[in-house]
Structure 1
Amino acid sequence: MTPAPFAERLTERTLQLQTRLCLGLDPRPELYPQREALREHTLALLEACVPLVACVKPQLAFYEALGLWGMQLLEELCDAARALELPIILDAKRGDIGSTAQAYAQAWLSGAHAGAALTVNPFLGFETLDPFVETAQANGGAVFVLVQTSNPGQADLQGGGISERVAEEVARRGAVSTGLSAVGAVVGATHPDALAGWRARMPRAPLLLPGLGAQGARPDALAGAFLPDGTGAVVSASRGVQYAQGVSVEAGVQAARTFRDQLNAALTAR
């Protein structure tokens, strides 16, 4: 049975728990004495943060770097998140042509270690989005298309109207939706002055805002990304929660609670 659409589940969780925080889980093996400690901390933090977050976002690169064991950990993490009814955004930034794009879509939007949603790269052309969007919709999922990323060098290729052109395509694909679309966008929380503009350009797109915490984005500057009812966007913090004070579940939970409360306060104040 196909689950309820990802955007619908994300909105429901946002309103029920009053949280706009996305928990990034990017395990760094050099911070742990052994692999089992990494596994236990990652899974324990996930479970402890469930009441505080709208979704979880594993960054695939960190699991790939751990080899086969890392992929097994990713599958275990996704199983745990699904059991906890926590939506999963898999941050893989995949993008390719033809059958290769279809294979990526099948792997990361319908497999045992897959997310309910996937970040995708549109820079090989908009037709390369089709397999991802179609697979996501068939599985009640979503895609988040890179529009303006959080890194300082993004302007090298995303300036000059290119991000705006991608946003137009995201909006076009979402225009058929009555609520939030299955086609969302990644817009960096590190560009706060641009967020209201992206929200206006993509009125039906769920927005994923990376960059809270270690990358320097401030919760009080992000209200422009949200719809009037406080939904429509989630803000991701990874290192700022998972390694808030070294390797401590308690410190991570406190950091997540603080970020959640700061985001809510920003919306109340707007």
Structure 2
Amino acid sequence: MTLTPVPFTKRLTERSLTFGTRLCLGLDPRLNAYGNRDALRQHTLAVLDACAPYAACVKPQFAFYEALGLWGMALLEEVCTAARALDLPIILDAKRGDIGSTAAAYAQAWLSGDHAGDALTVNPFLGAETLTPFVDAARQYGGAVFVLVKTSNPGQADFQGGGISEKVAAEVARLGSDEGGLSSGGLSSVGAVVGATHPQELAQWRAAMPQAPLLLPGLGAQGARAADLAAAFLPGGTGAVVSASRGIQYAAGLDVDAAVSAARTFRDELNAALRD
């Protein structure tokens, strides 16, 4: 008998409420911060293990593992295996997007198998039809996709202005409304990336995508503040997670205790913002 996987959004909501955290732990291992690959591996896994109690999910940034070649791909699989052992949902930040069978191949690669994430960030720039293989794979495997809607970098305005982000948000909402039997908390498997660096817009994006889980990157090193982010959440403090990477993994060089302290502080600041 094949067991039906617990949907990603259900797992994310349950962990968020059980552990009292809305923090997404970003893991971006940068080789130039270490003396060698073994030190990179040990530190990355140590940060994951030590910070897990303060995180609702983990987000490996694919680029940093890809930059390490085949060894990096093996490390990514090891990170995902460790995260699963900690019962941490995995958002693989790969920003994939392509047409037809190529999109289907990307979806198969990064939404199924030991090296894959439970959820994947995807780029809609090639058109709405290119999202379909990713959404289909996410639903098949109990995962999710996070579509780039409004990214956290300053240059996003070059191509995301002029109503483009609004069009993508409308498609995210449409895909979510098409989903039969929404998972936990009324959340669909089709989420959105909305930068935490745009706090004044969060209420707008939440209203535009009421069933979408939101991933908010930019906490810490990019300047976003936890106190400004409450509008992204649904009642009860669910429906969104806020990502911090450098501000945790390299909070004070390679000090794992400092990483733990940073993760705990971000968690507490997010919880305080929701209480206020």
The answer to whether the superposition gives a TM-score over 0.5 is yes
Q: Secondary structure at the match of 1:212?
A: coil
Q: Paired residue for 2:58?
A: 56
The amino acid that maps onto 2:47 is L
Distance in structure 1 (CA, Å) of the matches to 2:242 and 2:4: 26
Task: Select which of 85, 88, 103 maps to 2:105.
Answer: 103
**Could you list the runs of 4 or more consecutive aligned residues of structure 1 that deviate by over 4 angstroms after TM superposition?**
none
The amino acid that maps onto 1:51 is P
Q: Secondary structure at the match of 2:197?
A: coil
Q: Secondary structure at the match of 1:229?
A: coil
Task: Select which of 77, 80, 83 maps to 2:79.
Answer: 77
Deviations 1:15-73 (A, max 9, x none): 11110000000000111111111100100110111110000000000000000110000
Q: Are residue 260 (structure 1) and residue 267 (structure 2) matched?
A: yes
Q: Paired residue for 1:29?
A: 31
Task: Select which of 136, 139, 159 maps to 1:137.
Answer: 139
TM-score by length of 2: 0.96
Deviations 1:151-194 (A, max 9, x none): 00101110011100100010011113531000000000000000
Q: Secondary structure at the match of 1:91?
A: strand
Unaligned runs of 5+ in 2: none
Task: Select which of 192, 197, 208 maps to 1:185.
Answer: 192
Q: Secondary structure at the match of 1:100?
A: helix
Q: Secondary structure at the match of 2:117?
A: coil
Q: Paired residue for 2:243?
A: 236
The amino acid that maps onto 1:150 is S
The amino acid that maps onto 1:13 is R
Q: Secondary structure at the match of 2:92?
A: strand
Distance in structure 2 (CA, Å) of the matches to 1:230 and 1:58: 24
> Residues 2, 248 of structure 1: CA spacing in aligned structure 2 closer, same or farther, 3 A cutoff?
farther
Question: How far off is 1:248 after superposition?
Answer: 1.1
Question: How far off is 1:111 after superposition?
Answer: 2.2
Q: Paired residue for 2:228?
A: 221
Using the aligned pairs only, state the percent identity: 76
Distance in structure 2 (CA, Å) of the matches to 1:119 and 1:31: 26
Deviations 1:171-225 (A, max 9, x none): 0111135310000000000000000110011000000000001000000000000
Task: Select which of 226, 243, 258 maps to 1:251.
Answer: 258
Deviations 1:111-135 (A, max 9, x none): 2210000000001000100100001
8 Å CA contact 1:185–1:208 kept in 2: the answer is yes
Please provide the CA RMSD for this pair: 0.7
Distance in structure 1 (CA, Å) of the matches to 2:14 and 2:161: 34
Unaligned runs of 5+ in 1: none
Q: Paired residue for 1:7?
A: 9
Number of residue pairs the alignment of both structures matches? 269
Q: Secondary structure at the match of 2:93?
A: strand
Distance in structure 2 (CA, Å) of the matches to 1:76 and 1:100: 26
Distance in structure 2 (CA, Å) of the matches to 1:157 and 1:35: 37
Deviations 1:132-158 (A, max 9, x none): 000111100000000000000101110
Task: Select which of 85, 88, 97 maps to 1:86.
Answer: 88
8 Å CA contact 1:2–1:138 kept in 2: the answer is no
Q: Paired residue for 1:44?
A: 46
Question: How far off is 1:2 after superposition?
Answer: 3.2
Q: Secondary structure at the match of 1:230?
A: coil
Task: Select which of 200, 205, 216 maps to 1:198.
Answer: 205
Task: Select which of 146, 151, 156 maps to 2:153.
Answer: 151
Q: Secondary structure at the match of 2:218?
A: strand
Q: Paired residue for 1:210?
A: 217
The amino acid that maps onto 1:18 is G
